[in-house]
Copies of this chain bind each other. A is one copy, B any other.
Amino acid sequence: MSAALDNETGIDLSQYTADLGRAARAAAAELAHAQPQAKNRALLEIAAVLDQQRATILQENKKDLAAAGDNEVSAAMLERLELNPARIDAMIEGLQQVAGLPDPVGEISELRYRPSGIQVGKMRVPLGVIGIIYESRPNVTVDAAALCLKSGNASILRGGKEALYSNQAIYLSIQQGLQQAGLNEAAVQVVNTSDRAAVGHLLRMRDCIDVIIPRGGKSLIERIASESVIPVIKHLDGVCHVYIDDHADLHKAVAIAVNAKTRRYGVCNAMETLLVASAIAPRVMPEIIASMSAKGVELRGCERSREFDAERISTASEDDWYTEYLAPVLSIRIVDDLNQAIEHINNYGSQHTDAIVSENYSHTREFLRRVDSSSVMVNASTGFADGFEYGLGAEIGISTDKLHARGPVGLEGLTSQKYVVFGEGSIRA
């Protein structure tokens, strides 16, 4: 068998990743029944070491930034790659917050007696080993490590190659924190090679990794989902809609549409398409057009929407309805009724987050039932689709899958439930 070799460092990647997997599997078996206080102590120790190591981490980050500058990466990537004192503060706060969350492991629910006399319930347990593949944002290293650790899972973290120095510096702090708390250091491992082939190896390690979570752009996630033989929790695009129903309250409609679009443009829960019931359009469109234009939002619409302002609304193409702009651009479509709105969302949307603005009882119920998205909202901005806003405490991503976890994924999404049965010497007839 020919071993893959890392072009840059000369290490045997196949052997290297197999070693990571074996160590992670062993650490996971211990971590699964670690005491909550041991895990929390590790989180706080890591926070303390990060605080002590600020200078070193910023210095290593400078190396990454310099290399990235030489390679002429985009300004957006540089922005994500850069660490500064405030970002290190945020990492430390994140660790402290996760330490303060309730421990999900071991929770037993629905424990009920059955006619046979046994008592059956479900116990929350870690998934095992989680592989996280992400882009060049060093803060993800800390966030992901913290959530996996708290949920009792060992993790193998593989960040973008542009952040290699930063991630290794952060990794040293994590290891030191784990050590100080007396936990297995392989509970968190950060892949120490910039060779992309390492990812290929990880995605085939079915025996050692239980689930893969990619974090980043759609192309990264699609590539990983198609290549992985391990189950993937994926977060594809967020083509989110707000539908202003013919029974909408005008004030709520405008406030929600403007908030959903303009609160932040580059986030997955931002509205990309506004649907307006034709009966209410004459009353709501002028204000929508004025508010969006005032914020500098480019408008692209169907022909009926252009009747309200052909100058400010250009003609939307079929592609526009499928597009996640992540920018100050909004597509607008006038629909006949609720039914057409729901069909548009289920056809063009990405099953992420969609909202209706309406005071009509039956319309809101039908929208909730029929819109097949991970978050469905009534009279609220799509901007609320977020683990913190939902009370999950933290979030590792938003799942657009249907199996296992759907919507914002917090500690619970990193666990599973096994059945527990308590008997009194019970035998089955």
Contacts and interface: CB of A to CB of B under 8 A. Distances in A.
Interface of A: 29, 32-33, 106, 112, 114, 116, 118, 120, 123, 125, 127-128, 210-211, 231, 249, 251-252, 255-256, 258-259, 263, 346, 355, 357, 366, 368-370, 372-381, 383-385, 389-391, 402-404, 406-408, 416-428
B402 A406 contact: no
B428 A417 contact: no
A368 B231 contact: no
Contact of A380 (B29, B249, B423): B423
A422 B380 contact: yes
A423 B374 CA distance: 17
5 contacts: A125-B372, A263-B427, A374-B419, A375-B418, A384-B426
A42 to B, nearest CB: 19
Given A33-B366, A249-B425, 15 more contacts: A32-B370, A33-B370, A106-B369, A120-B389, A127-B403, A252-B425, A255-B427, A355-B421, A368-B420, A375-B418, A376-B420, A380-B425, A381-B427, A385-B419, A407-B418
Nearest to A233: B403
Contacts of A385: 419, 421
A9 to B, nearest CB: 33
B127 A378 contact: no
Given A375-B419, A428-B263, A380 B118 contact: yes
A361 to B, nearest CB: 12
Nearest to A429: B263
Across the A-B interface, the 7 shortest Cβ-Cβ residue pairs? A380-B423, A252-B425, A259-B427, A383-B428, A377-B421, A404-B404, A380-B426
Which among A355, A372, A426 has the greatest number of chain B C-beta atoms within 10 A?
A426
B377 A251 contact: no
Contacts of A417: 406
Contact of A416 (B357, B402, B427, B428): B402
Contacts of A346: 29
Given A402-B416, A416-B403, A421 B127 contact: no
A252 to B, nearest CB: 3
Contacts of A416: 402-403, 406
